[in-house]
Amino acid sequence: MSALPVFPALLAAALLLLAAANGSAQTPAAAPATLDARTPPLRCGAAPQGVNEAVNEAGYVAIGGIAQWVTIKGASCANPVILVVHGGPGNPLSPYADAIYGAWQKDYTLVQWDQRGAGKTYGKNRPAEDLPLTAAQLRDDGVELAAFLTGHLGQRKLILMGGSWGSYLAVSMAKARPELFHAYVGAAQLVNSTENMRTSREALLALARGAGDSASVAKLEALGAPPWRDPRSFGVLRRIDRKYEALATDPAPAAWWKRADDYLTAQQLIDDEAGEDYSYLQFVGRNGDGMFAQVDLPALGADFALPVFIVHGAEDLLTTPGVAKRYFDRIRAPQKEFVLLPRGGHDPNQALLDAQWKLLNERVRPLLK
């Protein structure tokens, strides 16, 4: 599940992190290198702790039996590493990483990963439309990547971040292999497919009725209560959700959506859109039986072996804050914190991202000492 009007398909990228106010953007001096899981670790893996060596890599890593696109950027090998788990599914943040994360690279090493079925990974391994994509497969890919990164970058653990669909996937990774991660920092937390859609539809119906929006009311009533079997149902809900969230939230800066030149080729744009379409169908399923139908974080248990921090928009009408907070309250973790942001919705905005930056520096970073 995600949230940005970048491509014409129904879902768009969910989790974006920015902290321009916390320092000027810095571009690492190191030239890009090609990643390959079969090669020895780069200099970060062998460097003594504290060595100020920049890292700037982009390439394919052998994960889950296929080549998957990964970028790694940061000003120093000694900095903590953040693995960003994108939303959608099917909406990688790699094309926007420099525009969005440039300022972060001074203090953190940022890893972007085009998940199976998305972006450059999709372009390299075009699956047949009937080839299933599963949440367990994506979880295992993410865990394998995290294990690779710890050795490749000479880090004992990573910081795990995810939003919307990425929040579900990241929590699944954290539950499977908590020893790989210092902490989880989430946003727009997805909890349970039926409960999230039920509360979203109810909230939107109340708003539409209050506004005299008969067209939206008719569409929402026609959906009926979830779960839904029609693959178009989620798209109907999402469009109405975007409409009403826009009335109550502050938008993200337009500058975030400047694609890097490497992602502007005609073929890359085709691959991105095709990957988004493929992933969306896998997400909802042709009969409501896709990956989304299996989303149920409470079923994974309330015990976490790592700290859990969640930032959630008070005006999020898709993954409503009540569902996220009830789930969070049941969590048992070494540390935890839930931040509810006024004028924040499902789509990220500056206030939400600033809150995540604050959590990283004030709550997560002290854990690394």
Banded model confidence at residue 131, pLDDT cuts 50, 70, 90: confident
Banded model confidence at residue 43, pLDDT cuts 50, 70, 90: low
Residue 361 CB neighbours (<10 A): 14
Domain-embedded: residue 105 = yes
Which of 16-30, 184-198, 250-264 is predicted least confidently?
Answer: 16-30
Of the chain, the end-to-end C-alpha distance in Å amounts to 34
pLDDT at 42 over 70: no
Burial of 208 (0-12, 13-18, 19+ CB in 10 A): buried
pLDDT at 21 over 50: no
What residues are paired with 158 via a beta bridge? 181
pLDDT at 295 over 50: yes
| Secondary element (H or E) of residue 148 | helix 135-152
* Between 117 and 42, the higher pLDDT residue: 117
The pLDDT of residue 352 is 87
Domain-embedded: residue 2 = no
pLDDT at 26 over 60: no
Task: Report how far residue 248's alpha carbon sits from residue 251's, in angstroms, rounded to the nearest whole number.
Answer: 10
Banded model confidence at residue 13, pLDDT cuts 50, 70, 90: very low
Nearest to 101 by CA among 13, 190, 16: 16
The pLDDT of residue 30 is 41
| Sequence-separated (6 or more) residues with CB below 8 Å from residue 130 | none
Order across the sheet with 81-85: list the strands.
Answer: 55-63, 66-74, 109-113, 81-85, 158-164, 181-189, 308-313, 336-341
Pairing type for strands 109-113 and 336-341 reads: unpaired
Domain-embedded: residue 13 = no
145-159 pLDDT, tens per residue?
999 999 999 999 999
Structural domain for 166, as ranges: 20-192+251-368
Dihedral pair phi/psi, residue 250, rounded to 5°: -95, 130
Banded model confidence at residue 360, pLDDT cuts 50, 70, 90: very high
Burial of 210 (0-12, 13-18, 19+ CB in 10 A): exposed
Dihedral pair phi/psi, residue 102, rounded to 5°: -55, -45
Domains of the chain: total: 1
Domain-embedded: residue 6 = no
Average pLDDT, the chain: 88
pLDDT at 48 over 80: no
Domain-embedded: residue 32 = yes
The pLDDT of residue 202 is 98
pTM: 0.89
Structure tokens at 226: 């979830």
DSSP 8-state code for residue 129: T
Banded model confidence at residue 32, pLDDT cuts 50, 70, 90: very low
Residue 205 CB neighbours (<10 A): 18
DSSP 8-state code for residue 48: P
Banded model confidence at residue 36, pLDDT cuts 50, 70, 90: low
Which of 38-52, 135-149, 247-261, 326-340 is predicted least confidently?
Answer: 38-52
The pLDDT of residue 24 is 32
Domain-embedded: residue 9 = no
Domain-embedded: residue 117 = yes
pLDDT at 8 over 50: no
pLDDT at 290 over 60: yes
Q: Tell me how many degrees the CA angle 103-108-114 measures, rounded to the nearest 5.
A: 90
Q: What is the CATH number of the domain that holds 159?
A: 3.40.50.1820
Banded model confidence at residue 349, pLDDT cuts 50, 70, 90: confident
CA dihedral 366, 353, 9, 197 (to 10 degrees): 80
The pLDDT of residue 47 is 55
302-315 pLDDT, tens per residue?
999 999 999 999 99
Task: Report how far residue 115's alpha carbon sits from residue 97's, in angstroms, rounded to the nearest whole number.
Answer: 15
Domain-embedded: residue 169 = yes
What residues are paired with 308 via a beta bridge? 184, 336
Q: Is the dihedral of CA 204, 205, 210, 214 positive or negative?
A: positive
